[in-house]
Amino acid sequence: MSSTTRQQLRCLLPHRSTRLKVAAAAFGLLPFQASFADDYPAPIQALEKEGLEVYGEFDAPEGLTGYAASHQGQPMTIFVTADGEHAIVGNLLDSNATNLSEEPLERLVQVPMDDVAWQNLGNSAWIADGSDDAERIVYVFTDPNCPYCTRFYHDSRPWVESGKVQLRHVMVGILDPAKSPRQAVTMLAADDPSAMLAAHESGDAVEPLKNLPRELEQRLQDNHNLFYGFGMVATPGIVYYNGDKLEMSQGAPTPEQMTTIMGSELN
């Protein structure tokens, strides 16, 4: 497969929406008890050598001690026996088939990961699209040469123009190495980035600056690192809260999926 074809596929993959699962290390989220790793039971220490990250421990029945952890971004629980010599990796169910691993993983691993991911999005280089007073914020990784980004921009107008949603376009330049990075930096450097974004999505070409601000070039690279930290491969890459859960999607959403992303029915 050629490099050009791979770049094109990043904009052509079908839309999918998933519960956000990202490598904690990608966002600087350190294990809660890293300084006490030497105090962990031997099975936990052995698993740490295999790449396990431990974020906290919790009470479990029948003398077991539960550990909330992740491996390569995948949250998991480990239960250590009372003697500290044996461990069971996986979910623990009670007599009613209730998953006793779910709540500790959400509380000790997923929620902190979501909080850090959302904070990092807020600190990225983005262009506002919509009212600053909007109740809902949606982050969108946007490439200047992605037709599905343009489609999402226009499909989102009813929510944005009603003042319900503010889109924050985290600019990336991955689809056309010769054009996208320079165009993305030019849009970020504009006197009115929001107006330039709107004009571009309405068909106006972006004429790249001859001299790109070095600081914004670095910030664009940081956006790229964030994009890949989320495990994304296609634009638009959309990150949003669905209730109290952080989720992401890639590609052009269907009308039904737009309702979930935007948080309300289309009026």
Q: pLDDT per residue over 101-121, tens digit each?
A: 999 988 888 888 889 899 999
- List, by residue range, all CATH 3.40.30.10 domains of the chain: 3-23+124-262
Among 4-8, 69-73, 209-213, which is the least confidently predicted range?
Answer: 4-8
* CATH class in words for 31-110: alpha beta
pLDDT for the residue numbered 38: 62
Q: Which of 146, 107, 141 lies closest to 124, judged by CA? A: 141
Helix (H, G, I), strand (E, B) or coil at 229: helix
pLDDT for the residue numbered 128: 98
Instruction: Report the pLDDT averaged over residues 195-202.
Output: 97
Residues 6+ apart with CB under 8 A from 20: 113, 114, 117, 230, 239, 245, 246, 247, 248
Task: Evaluate whether 250 touches 13 at the Cβ level (below 8 Å).
Answer: yes
Whether pTM exceeds 0.85: no
Instruction: Report the pLDDT averaged over residues 70-93.
Output: 92
Q: Is pLDDT of 247 > 70?
A: yes
Among 4-13, 27-36, 90-99, 148-157, which is the least confidently predicted range?
Answer: 4-13
How much is the mean pLDDT over the chain? Answer: 87
pLDDT for the residue numbered 37: 58
Instruction: Report the pLDDT averaged over residues 90-103.
Output: 94
Distance CA 142, CA 140 (A): 6
Both structure tokens of 224: 């790229």
For 180-194, b/e burial (b = at least 16 CB within 10 A) is: bbbbbbbbbbbeebe
Q: Is pLDDT of 34 > 60?
A: no
For 119-130, b/e burial (b = at least 16 CB within 10 A) is: ebbeebbbbebb
Q: Is pLDDT of 165 > 90?
A: yes
pLDDT for the residue numbered 266: 74
Among 18-27, 43-52, 81-90, 156-165, which is the least confidently predicted range?
Answer: 18-27
pLDDT for the residue numbered 19: 54
pLDDT for the residue numbered 133: 97
- List, by residue range, all CATH 3.10.450.70 domains of the chain: 31-110
Q: Is pLDDT of 13 > 50?
A: no
Instruction: Report the pLDDT averaged over residues 198-220.
Output: 95
Q: What superfamily does domain 3-23+124-262 belong to in CATH?
A: Glutaredoxin (3.40.30.10)
pLDDT for the residue numbered 1: 41
